[in-house]
Amino acid sequence: MFDKILIANRGEIALRVIRACREMGIASVAVHSTADADAMHVRMADESVCIGPPPSASSYLSMPAIISACEITGAQAIHPGYGFLSENATFVQMVEDHGLTFIGPRAEHIRIMGDKITAKETAAQLGIPVVPGSEGGVADVETARQVAAGIGYPVIIKATAGGGGRGMKVAHDDGALEVAFRTARTEAKAAFGNPDVYIEKYLQKPRHIEIQVFGDGRGRAVHLGERDCSLQRRHQKVLEEAPGPAITAEERARIGKVCADAMAQLGYAGAGTIEFLYEDGEFYFIEMNTRLQVEHPVTEAIFGVDLVREQICVAAGNEMTLRQEDLSIRGHAIEVRINAERVPDFAPCPGRVTQYHAPGGLGVRVDSAIYDGYSIPPYYDSLIGKLIVHGRDRPEALARLNRALSELIVDGVDTTVPLFRELLKDPDIQSGNYSIHWLERWLERHYR
Ligand code: MV4
C-alpha cells in the first residue's frame, strides 16, 4: 500500500480523497494555487505544496508542477479527482514515466473513451447496446443523407471530439440535414480543432442513466447499479439519484452484467461510468467517463461502499474486495449540487461566505470545502458543495432532503439552494416522472 498520496485537485473532491487516505493510514499531500492558500483541502491534508498562480492552466492543470510536487514530498501516487487532469492520457503516461502511480484507469482506456467514435465502436464490440447510427465518422453530406435515410428521422449529428453536449445538431427531416451537418462540422472544428462528426438516431424523450462500474485491471469487474442524472441544465447535472426511479431490478441486473462483463474483457482498472440514454425500456450507450464522478456518493450511500478506498486499493495492486454477489442496494439516495450561482440565470456568484451551517442527522452527508468566512475564488467551477441524503425508500429520501435543505445556511453568496426548495414541491419530482428535457422546461415555466 502507498505511504503517501498527492491529490491533484481542490475543493470538496480533494477533501473526499483526503478523508479516504486518512482512514487508510495514508499520508495526504494537497496542491493548491495561490488563490487557494486558505482553502480547506490545504488545511485538511497532512502537507501542501503551492503549484502556481490562480488560472487552472498554470496550476491544477500544470503537469510538471504536479509531478514536481510529488518529487518534493515523496508522494508515490496521484489521485486526480474529477475534472482537471482526471481524463488526460498524456498525464497518466507522464506520471508512470516518473515512476509514480496514477489512481485511475490505464492511459489506453482513457484514450479510447476520449474519442466518442472509438468509444462507441469499442462499446458495441464489447456487447454494450449503442444508439443506431453511422459506423464511424461521416465525411460528406451525401453519406449523411444515406445514413439518415437508413435509420430514419429525427437524427442527431455529434462531434467525435465532443462531449458534454457541445457541437450537437438535430435534424428533423431531409431538408434540415445539410445545414445541420455543415454547422456541426464548422462548430466541431472551432470548438475542438477537429471537424469529424458522426450521426445517430435522435431519441426524443430519454432519461440519462449511468452505470457505475469498477474493475481490478486484471479481468475482474463489477457494477454498482445506476444513477438517474436526467435533471440537467445546459448539460450540467443539477440533481442525481440512485436507484433510478424508472429502472426495475431486472433491467438493472441485465444492463449491469453487460457493463461489468465488458469492463472485465477490457481489463479496466478502477472506477468508471457508462452513460446511457434510456427510452421505452431500452438502454443506448452514449459515452463512458473514465473517472470518479461528482455524483458518486449516491452510489456509495445505497451500496455502503467507499469508492475512493477501492480506487486506492486497486491502484496499489491489491485484490479488489468488491464481489458482485455481495453488492446489494439498501434504500434510496439523492444528491443536489450546491453551486455559487444566481437563480434563475445561473450566473456564477463568487465572493465571501459570511455564514455557513451544514445540515446533519440520520442519512445526511454533506461534501463541501466551504467554511464561515471563506472566499469563493472566481477562477474555478462554481460547485461549492453537495448535499446527499439516504432513506429507506424514495419518499423517505425526499422528505429527508426537504428537511436537510431547511437546515442549510449559506449566506453572503447566491446559491442553487432556493432552486431545490422549489423543485421538491413539484409533483413530477415527487413521483420521479422526468426526462432529460424536464428541468429546462420547468425553469422556463417557473421563472419566466
Ligand atoms: C443524444 C440525445 C438524443 N439522442 N443522443 C447530450 C450530451 C451528450 N452526453 C449526449 N447528449 C445527448 N445525446 C441521441 N442519439 C440527447 C442528448 C441530450 C442530453 C443527454 C443527457 C442529458 C441531458 C441532455 C440534454 C440534451 C440533449
Which tens digits make up the pLDDT trace of 221-247?
999 999 999 999 999 999 999 999 999
Q: What is the rounded distance in angstroms from the CA atom of residue 170 to the CA atom of residue 201?
A: 9
State the average pLDDT over residues 314-340. Answer: 97
Which tens digits make up the pLDDT trace of 278-288?
999 999 999 99
Which tens digits make up the pLDDT trace of 365-400?
999 999 999 999 999 999 999 999 999 999 999 999
Give the count of alpha carbons within 13 A of 435, CB side only: 10
State the average pLDDT over residues 425-432. Answer: 98
Q: How far, in Å, from the CA of 124 to the mean position of ligand 1?
A: 18
Which tens digits make up the pLDDT trace of 27-58?
999 999 999 999 999 999 999 999 999 999 99
pLDDT of residue 163: 73
DSSP 159-189: ETT-BTTBT-EEESSHHHHHHHHHHHHHHHH
**Ligand 1, pocket-test mutation among 274, 275, 436, 439, most atoms within 8 A of CB:** 436
pLDDT band at 319 (very low <50, low <70, confident <90, very high): confident
Alpha helix (H) ranges present in 235-324? Answer: 249-266, 296-303, 307-315
State the average pLDDT over residues 426-442. Answer: 98
Q: Which residues are catalytic, by number?
A: 291
State the average pLDDT over residues 211-222. Answer: 98
pLDDT band at 167 (very low <50, low <70, confident <90, very high): confident
**Relative to the CA of 200, which ligand 1 atom is closest?**
15
pLDDT of residue 166: 78
Q: How far, in Å, from the CA of 284 to the mean position of ligand 1?
A: 11
The per-residue pLDDT of the chain, averaged, comes to 97
**Relative to the CA of 133, which ligand 1 atom is closest?**
15
Q: What is the rounded distance in angstroms from the CA atom of residue 139 to the CA atom of residue 120?
A: 17
C-alpha grid cell, residue 374: 471563506
pLDDT of residue 358: 98
State the average pLDDT over residues 416-432. Answer: 98
- For ligand 1, atom 21, the nearest C-alpha belongs to 208
pLDDT band at 448 (very low <50, low <70, confident <90, very high): confident
Q: How far, in Å, from the CA of 138 to the mean position of ligand 1?
A: 19
Residues with CB under 6 A from ligand 1: 131, 156, 165, 200-203, 208, 232, 235, 277, 286-287, 436
- For ligand 1, atom 14, the nearest C-alpha belongs to 202
State the average pLDDT over residues 87-106. Answer: 98
**Relative to the CA of 165, which ligand 1 atom is closest?**
7
pLDDT above 80: residue 301:
yes
**Relative to the CA of 232, which ligand 1 atom is closest?**
23
pLDDT above 80: residue 412:
yes
Q: How far, in Å, from the CA of 63 to the mean position of ligand 1?
A: 32
- For ligand 1, atom 15, the nearest C-alpha belongs to 202
- For ligand 1, atom 16, the nearest C-alpha belongs to 203
DSSP state of 380: S
Q: Determine what percent of the chain is predicted with pLDDT higher than 90.
A: 97
pTM above 0.85, yes or no: yes
pLDDT of residue 162: 82
pLDDT of residue 165: 77
For residue 432, is it left (φ>0), alpha (ψ between -120 and 50) or beta? left
Q: How far, in Å, from the CA of 251 to the mean position of ligand 1?
A: 21
Whether the link from the prior residue into 344 is cis, omega within 30° of 0, is yes
pLDDT of residue 369: 98
State the average pLDDT over residues 266-283. Answer: 98
Q: What is the rounded distance in angstroms from the CA atom of residue 272 to the CA atom of residue 433?
A: 27
State the average pLDDT over residues 326-352. Answer: 98
pLDDT above 80: residue 93:
yes
Burial of 316: CB neighbours in 10 Å, binned 0-12, 13-18, 19+ = middle
